[in-house]
Amino acid sequence: MLLTDEGLKNREEWENKGYILPKFDRQKVAEKTKAEPRWIHFGAGNIFRAFQANICQRLLDEGICDKGLIVAEGYDYEIVEKYNRPHDDLSILVTLRADGTVEKKVIGSIVESCILDENDQAEMDRLKEIFRAPSLQMVSFTITEKGYKTKEYMTKVTRLLLERYDNGKLPITFVSMDNCSHNGDKLKAAVVDIAEHFVKYGICGRDFVEYINDPEFVTFPLSMIDKITPRPDDKIADILASDGLEGGEPIITTKNTYVAPFVNAEETEYLVIEDLFANGRMPLEKGGVIFTDRESVDKTEKMKVCTCLNPLHTALAIFGCLLGYNKIHDEMQDATLRKLVTFLGKKEGMKVVVDPKVISPDEFLDTVLEKRLSNPFMPDTPQRIACDTSQKIPIRFGETIKAYRSSSELDTDDLVLIPTVLAGYLRYLDGVDDEGAEFTQSPDPMLDELKEMSREDVLKRTDVFGVDLSEDSLASKVMAIYKKMCGKGNVRKALDNYVDTVLA
């Protein structure tokens, strides 16, 4: 079994092994997409293949749309060179359900892959052609929050937008689908900043900046995305190999990206987008996307990022590394850790959540606790989630602290579990687990700097915690808990103690 257009011609063999195959004529879709592209996505990683590509596949399977997806990779070209093109842009989505069943689906909605490499004239010519197309409606991104801060990447994207402007001031919508706060605003700020540099150095006139800032022509809606997509797992590769799939082994690129012809993911997913499109849009709501107003998107994002998922993930990541866990679902079998994240969400976080109406916070949190984090078939790791923790804490915990401080009915003196997690982060920076053994901390741009600082000085970093912890008793409380966590076996003892305090 080869994952190529030629290999899929033997449909019966694939279907007999339980694979769901595309129901549309892929060649016709590719031809129509090339002639009149509607959607190009930057970031050819796992979340894109598991989520956005599957949304488009649903629309194609049901005959709702006749155009597919074009993907462009601007950071790690090996993804396209070693995965996309050898497999004719096909992918296998392996959905790992909490009941133990596995769904295997061949995704064929990606019909073209491009490389955002200005040293390759042919690649750039094709991208310019796509951006000049009046039919293009949406340019979406999953390039991580760091991507928007990378001037080289955003310069290349902005040059493509300039190409569209020069071809008749055509309207377009840029949609960040990255898991970060106010993602559309971050994307717009990055593009405008580059455009201002273009003006400064005479590459274009100020009217290009005005075009970007005019919502009649260019929009940057907010979005909230949620789907856990771990790195490709060797056990999944073994399952596919036992079916007869050839060449399905995961690879690690020279830029340390984990890719494979398959992607493994959970079944739960949410994508909420501000309905603000300058050139029309595909009916993505028929594929599961929720369209709403800006305020509701903001509320869903805060609900998820500040309370119902991301803080719980970070807590499990920190203590998973300290307590020697290698799987998130194993941590949820630890009574203390399960209580920690349950009451972190339900007792401390939920008090400041504003109901976005489009998704119920209580139902969302219950699904996270009972179905998602505890799914024994999801190979997600605390080590993966611990990446870039210093960049995550300001939003995941700092915003809740701000909400407590601004409330007339709440008091940060009542917080126990948030200070415990922050103390756990200080302990994590020590690089020594609860058994006294050194462990390798996950990549983080501020890790080396913070490790060298005294823990008291780390607590003064508003860029790490999002707030000045010394404005009330939080800094002293966090430091006191940290000291109790020092020494062999004391992380566990402190956790048990503070979790019990909340339950008392």
pLDDT, tens digit (0-9, with 9 covering 90-100), for 85-119: 999 999 999 999 888 889 999 999 999 999 999 99
Structure confidence at residue 135 as a pLDDT band (50, 70, 90): very high
Q: What is the mean pLDDT of residues 166-172?
A: 98
Tens of pLDDT along 412-450?
A: 999 999 999 999 999 999 999 999 999 999 999 999 999
Per DSSP, what are the bridge partners of residue 225?
Answer: 271
**First-residue to last-residue Cα distance in the chain:** 58
Q: Is the pLDDT of residue 38 over 90?
A: yes
Query: How many CA atoms within 13 Å lie on the side-chain side of 435?
Result: 8
DSSP SS3 for 96: strand
* Contact (Cβ atoms closer than 8 angstroms) between residue 426 and residue 404: no
- Return the pLDDT at 240: 95
Sheet holding 223-226, edge to edge: 223-226, 270-274, 290-292
Residue extent(s) of CATH 1.10.1040.10 domains in the chain: 295-503
pLDDT digit string, tens, across residues 208-261:
999 999 999 999 999 999 999 988 988 999 999 999 999 888 889 999 888 899
89: its two tokens: 């842009």
Q: Per-residue confidence at 504, pLDDT binned at 50, 70, 90?
A: low
The pLDDT, as a whole number, for residue 100 is 83
Closest CA to 83 of 220, 248, 225: 248
Nearest by Cα to 174 from 84, 163, 185: 185
pLDDT at 287 exceeding the cut of 70:
yes
User: pLDDT tens digits for 377-403?
Assistant: 888 999 999 999 999 999 999 999 999
**What is the largest distance, in Å, between two alpha-carbon atoms of the chain?**
67
Provide the whole-model pTM. 0.88
Residue type, 488: K
Number of H helices, E strands in the chain: 25, 15
Nearest to 314 by CA among 439, 466, 418: 418
| b/e 444-475 (16+ beta carbons within 10 angstroms → b) | bebbeebeeeebeebbebeebbbbebeebebb
Taking 90 as the threshold, does the pLDDT of residue 5 lie above it? Answer: yes
Which residues does residue 40 pair with via DSSP β-bridges, in sequence order?
70, 139
Q: Supply the DSSP string of 260-290, one letter for each residue.
A: -SEEEEES--EEEEE---SS----GGGGTPE
Distance of alpha carbon 501 from alpha carbon 238, whole angstroms? 45
Which CATH code for domain 295-503? 1.10.1040.10
Rounded to 5 degrees, φ, ψ at 110 are: -80, 115
- The reported pLDDT for the residue numbered 378 is 84
Closest Cα partner for 413 from 422, 400, 404? Answer: 404
Phi, psi dihedral angles at 423 (to 5 degrees): -65, -40
Predicted pLDDT of residue 266: 93
Task: Report how far residue 439's alpha carbon sits from residue 451's, in angstroms, rounded to the nearest whole number.
Answer: 13
For 40-79, the pLDDT digits (tens) are 999 999 999 999 999 999 999 999 999 999 999 999 999 9
Fold observed for domain 7-292? Rossmann fold (3.40.50)
**CATH 3.40.50.720 domain locations along the chain:** 7-292
- 92 with 103: CB under 8 angstroms? no
- Please return the burial class of 43, using the count of CB atoms within 10 Å of its CB with bins 0-12, 13-18 and 19+: buried
Give the per-residue pLDDT at 11: 96
User: pLDDT tens digits, residue range 308-360?
Assistant: 999 999 999 999 999 999 999 999 999 999 999 999 999 999 999 999 999 99
- The 10s digit of each residue's pLDDT in 264-275 is 999 999 999 999
Mean pLDDT, residues 463-467 taken together: 96
Name the nearest CA neighbour of 70 among 41, 49, 45, 92. Answer: 41
